[in-house]
Amino acid sequence: MKRSLIALSVAAAVLAPAAEAAPKVYGKINITAESYEKDPATGAKTNQTLVNSNASRFGLKGEDELTATLSAVYQIEWEVSLDNASTVTAAKAGEDGSKVKAGTDLKPRNRYLGLKSSEYGTVKIGQYDSYMKLAEGKVDLFNDYVLGDIEFTVAGQDRVTDVIGYESPKFSGFQVNTMVQGNDATSRGGSSSSVTFADEEMGLYAAVAYNKGLVGKSAIGATKDRDAMRAVVSYKLGDVTLAGLYHTAENTVDGTEEEQGYLVSGAYAIDDENTFKVQYSAGERDDKAIAGIADRTMLSVGLDHHFTKKTKVFAFYTTRDEEQKDVTKNYDESSIAVGMEHSF
């Protein structure tokens, strides 16, 4: 009798349909109160007190087993403006083709559906961050902040529409990723690829990435078809993490525009709860069509205090400036901010 019951149990387990895991609800809320100042070359100086929702978001993601080695993977994510008139929404509108304006609550972010094989890697279809953007890893210590994110000085921070992407399994810390963009009125068949290496024990992260003819956003110009290259490295030694990024891009529509930028950052874990961080980045754009050169620089210094892994309070200071051949367009701006972030 016992043998019969065991046999029936084994047969039921073999014949049972693949498990369907419930989707995970996740997100983060990041909000700051800021004292902001802008000093243009011409016109009056601006002084404001702002509340900014810094890429606060929520989403659903999951992985459902189809066979012993194959799963369906998916993600749907939105940015949410906590104050319903956030500067972040206005500043970053259009990076993924959306038409979000200040005063709009929701903005689409990464969303895709795909298949994941434990042996051969993952294929994803939809809209999500280019592999050049993802190659930055965690070197941008002020990522997502309205004043502080490297997209002010460095091109290639794109969320790409109409793409099919492939991510290889990891081999001894190495991973190969590539995506191809569709060809329609807004996307013209470009590609984005990267090779990354990560070793937590060594404290080392490195990546190289290349875009070919991708419809991408410039840091100091308009959105155009671009060829671009990026190199990234980060090294953690004890309580100190040092990182650097270099990026170069060229307009492939008419070849009149070139852009390059770089970033260096450092973080020091004072103790288990407090981290001091500093970051400097610079970018230059040479537009031969208008005989103009624009330079941007940005410096940020901050302190994070972690209550838990999910919740922190922080303060930072950012100053940045732009200089153009037309000096009347030059300006300096700065912000002192205090804020809080909670992830779930």
Summarize pLDDT for 18-71 with one digit per residue, the tens.
556 789 999 999 999 999 999 888 888 889 998 989 999 999 999 999 999 999
Q: Report DSSP state, residue 68.
A: S
Q: What is the DSSP string of 245-278?
A: EEEEEEETTTS-EEEEEEEEEEEEE-SSSEEEEE
Mean pLDDT of 69-84: 91
Say yes or no to pLDDT of 94 above 50. Answer: no
Q: Across the chain, which distance is largest between two alpha carbons, in Å?
A: 92
**What are the pLDDT digits (tens) for 273-296?**
999 999 999 998 876 655 566 889
Q: What is the model's pLDDT at position 131? A: 97
8 A C-beta contact, residue 330 and residue 324: yes
Q: What is the model's pLDDT at position 187? A: 62
Phi and psi at 328, nearest 5°, equal: -70, -15
Say yes or no to pLDDT of 324 above 70. Answer: yes
Higher pLDDT, 13 or 315: 315
Q: What is the model's pLDDT at position 319? A: 96
8 A C-beta contact, residue 51 and residue 36: no
The candidate with the shortest Cα–Cα distance to 330, out of 302, 295, 285, 288, is 295
Q: What is the model's pLDDT at position 83? A: 72
What is this structure's pTM?
A: 0.84
Between the alpha carbon of residue 68 and those of residues 8, 19, 71, 120, 296, the distances in Å are 21, 10, 8, 13, 51
The candidate with the shortest Cα–Cα distance to 245, out of 116, 143, 313, is 143
Distance from CA of residue 55 to its chain's centroid? 10
| Residue whose entry in the numeric block shows the structure tokens 């279809």 | 125
Between the alpha carbon of residue 103 and those of residues 83, 107, 309, the distances in Å are 8, 11, 31
Say yes or no to pLDDT of 87 above 50. Answer: no
Q: What is the model's pLDDT at position 36? A: 94
Mean pLDDT of 144-164: 90
8 A C-beta contact, residue 148 and residue 318: yes
Q: What is the model's pLDDT at position 128? A: 95
Q: What is the model's pLDDT at position 255? A: 64
8 A C-beta contact, residue 224 and residue 249: no
Phi-psi region for residue 173, left (φ > 0), alpha (ψ -120 to 50) or beta? left
Indicate the pLDDT class of residue 207, thresholds 50, 70 and 90. Answer: very high
What fold, for 23-343?
A: Porin (2.40.160)
- Bridge partners for 204 per DSSP: 199, 235
Higher pLDDT, 128 or 6: 128
Q: What is the model's pLDDT at position 312? A: 98
**Hey, what are 153's tokens?**
């000085």
Q: What is the model's pLDDT at position 327? A: 77
Phi and psi at 316, nearest 5°, equal: -155, 160
Q: What is the model's pLDDT at position 220? A: 60
Q: Which secondary-structure segment (H or E) carries 3?
A: helix 2-15
Q: Which secondary-structure segment (H or E) carries 211?
A: strand 204-216
Indicate the pLDDT class of residue 98, thresholds 50, 70 and 90. Answer: very low
Q: What is the model's pLDDT at position 90? A: 36
The candidate with the shortest Cα–Cα distance to 282, out of 297, 295, 293, 294, is 297
Q: What's the mean pLDDT when you consider all of the chain?
A: 85
Indicate the pLDDT class of residue 89, thresholds 50, 70 and 90. Answer: very low
Say yes or no to pLDDT of 101 above 80. Answer: no
What number of other Cβ atoms are within 10 A of residue 202's Cβ? Answer: 12
